[in-house]
Structure 1
Amino acid sequence: MPPRHSGDAGQAFPIYITVVGGLLFLAFAYFAVGQAAANRNGAQTAADAAALAAAQERRDQLSGAWLESLLDPGKWQDIFDGMADGLRPSCWRAEQLAASNDATVLSCTADGLLSYTVEVQTNKTVGDSIVPGTETKKSRATASAVIESRCGFELPATDAEEKDVKLPTLNCEGGADWELNPETPEDLLPKPEDLFDVHLAD
């Protein structure tokens, strides 16, 4: 058996150290990438929730305006198009939802009457990693949500001698037809989600 030379082991040791060091570097790099991705995903989740919340708040206001105008069908279409008296700002709901997702709203904009765009920033940074400059880096994300009417109707012919108020039938998506009359109890009237659909913009 040939003699074992201690020099062979000595030569292998630096290679071993180099390989282990490379593997550790890759592990830390993947960890840093994972941290950044998680932070970005958190920002996008917060932005989506905030935009939807602002749009849902406006939807609820429009639904309330429709109930108040139940006996005046001439105002219905304006409400379904997003126009109603007494509408209040809705971005406070975006701020609430962003905060619950550990983020801050940077901007909240009503894009027309039936759409909101919200930009948020995470409160947490990416954190320490081997990537320089990430210690104070925060992620940002933007999302838009839209409100769409789910119902249509036809105004009945008016008759000056007609004493009883005749309300149009609401034909809503999903095959729901609402036969309305002034005596309909409020709990049997369409809910906000029956009248309007809220979803993230494509």
Structure 2
Amino acid sequence: MRRRTRTDAGQAFPIYVVMVVGLLFLAFVFFAVGKAAALRNGAQGAADAAALAAGQQARENFEAPFLASLPGKMLDPFLQAHPVQGCTTAAQGLADSNRARVTDCYSIPGGLRDRIRVEVKGHDPVDSPVVPDTKKIFAETKATVVIEFRCPDWESVDFNDDGVQDMYFFTCRGGEMLEIEPSNPPPWSKVSKILYDVHLVDK
């Protein structure tokens, strides 16, 4: 059996050093990839929260024009062409609380099914010591929320035949019923969540 000499050990040492350095490099790369994924998940959470805030604020903003459309039998035109606003300060605030900022926010009108899309950019860079230019790489993503009218089946009654609608009866998804008297409407905070559903979608 051949004995290992000091010369053999000296020759093997550089190989060990290269292997250790290579493993450390791979560890840093995997760490950078993991950090990038974590930052993107955080940015996605910020985008989702901001989009939901924008959708909920848009629903609140429907109150005055929605109620104004009832007496004169203008509800159907309103539902087909009501304006949807873009981002709000609440949306930006939620993005900030999730370590991101809103870079763009715009509405996509669609009649009974409107959308608001929010794009965000994370505050924190990937900043890997082994991957070049990662100090300039930030997580960017977007989220889309739908504001959907839930009560497409409705009818109105003009008790006095004076052209003014005195009562509206809504049949909503799931069989939920809602009555609104235009001259004495219930609190919008109570009925808006019945009339309009706000939820995230993939596109």
Q: TM-score, normalization: structure 1?
A: 0.79
Shift of 1:3: 4.9
Normalised to the residue count of structure 2, the TM-score between the two structures is 0.79
In the other structure, the counterpart of 2:99 is: 102
C-alpha separation in 1, matches of 2:145 and 2:158: 38
Shift in alpha-carbon separation, 1:4–1:152, aligned structure 2, 3 A: closer
Correspondence for 1:133 = 133
1:146 alignment counterpart: 146
Deviates more, 1:41-50 or 1:159-168: 159-168
Question: How far apart, in 2, do the equivalents of 1:30 and 1:157 lie?
Answer: 66
**Matched ranges for 1:14-163 at <5 A:** 14-63=14-63, 65-66=65-66, 68-69=67-68, 72=71, 74-81=73-80, 83=82, 90-112=87-109, 114-156=114-156, 158=158, 160-161=160-161
- On the 8 A contact 2:156/2:165 being kept in 1, the answer is no
Partner amino acid, structure 2, of 1:201: V
Does the 8 Å CA contact 1:63/1:191 hold for their aligned counterparts? no
RMSD: 3.2
Q: Is the 8 A contact 1:122 1:139 kept in 2?
A: yes
Retained in 2: the 8 A contact 1:154–1:169? yes
**Contact persistence 1:73–1:168 (CA under 8 A):** no
- Per-residue deviation at 1:173? 1.0
Matched residues in 2 for 1:49 and 1:188: separation?
A: 22
Instruction: Name the aligned partner's letter for residue 146 of structure 1.
Output: V
| CA deviation map 1:49-98 (0-9, x unaligned) | 212211111012214543x34862723334444627xx866433322221
The CA distance in 2 between the partners of 1:64 and 1:80, in whole Å, is 13
Look up the equivalent residue of 2:100 and give its one-letter code: A
Letter in 1 for 2:91: A
| CA spacing shift, 1:130–1:65, aligned 2, 3 Å | same
Identity of aligned residues (%): 38
SS in structure 2 of the partner of residue 7 of structure 1: helix
Gaps of 5+ in 1: none
Contact kept, 8 Å, 2:158 with 2:165, in 1: the verdict is no
Equivalent AA in structure 2 for residue 98 of structure 1: A
Of 173-182 and 103-112, deviating more is: 173-182
Aligned residue pairs: how many? 199
Q: Which has the higher strand share?
A: 2
Of the structure 1 ranges 146-155 and 7-16, higher mean CA displacement relative to structure 2 is found in 7-16
